[in-house]
């Protein structure tokens, strides 16, 4: 039973870490995009 848990954590740990890293990067870029869209009407005046 212990081997199953260890292999499960080993197999899923890396993909989960990569997913969280990519989601964090996308979130910061989306925040920048949202700020740009909000400021756009003011810049067009």
Q: What is the DSSP string of 1-45?
A: -HHHHHHHHHHHHHHHHHHHHHHHHHHHHHHHHHHHHHHHHHHH-
In whole numbers, what is the pLDDT of the chain averaged over residues?
85
Residue 24 lies in a domain: yes
Residue 2 lies in a domain: no
Residue 27 lies in a domain: yes
More confident residue, 39 or 2: 39
Residue 42 lies in a domain: yes
Q: Please state the domain count of the chain.
A: 1
Mean pLDDT, residues 5-34 taken together: 84
Q: Is the dihedral of CA 40, 34, 21, 12 positive or negative?
A: negative
Residue 38 lies in a domain: yes
Domain housing 28: 14-45
More confident residue, 11 or 34: 34
Residue 33 lies in a domain: yes
CA dihedral 11, 17, 19, 22 (to 10 degrees): -150
Residue 8 lies in a domain: no
pLDDT at 39 over 70: yes
Q: Take residue 25 and report the two structure tokens written for it.
A: 């990067």
Mean pLDDT, residues 16-40 taken together: 91
């Amino acid at each position: 039973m212990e081997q199953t848990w260890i292999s499960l954590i080993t197999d899923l740990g890396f993909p989960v870490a990569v997913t969280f890293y990519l989601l964090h990067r996308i979130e910061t870029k989306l925040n920048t995009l949202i700020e740009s869209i909000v400021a756009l009407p003011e810049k067009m005046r």
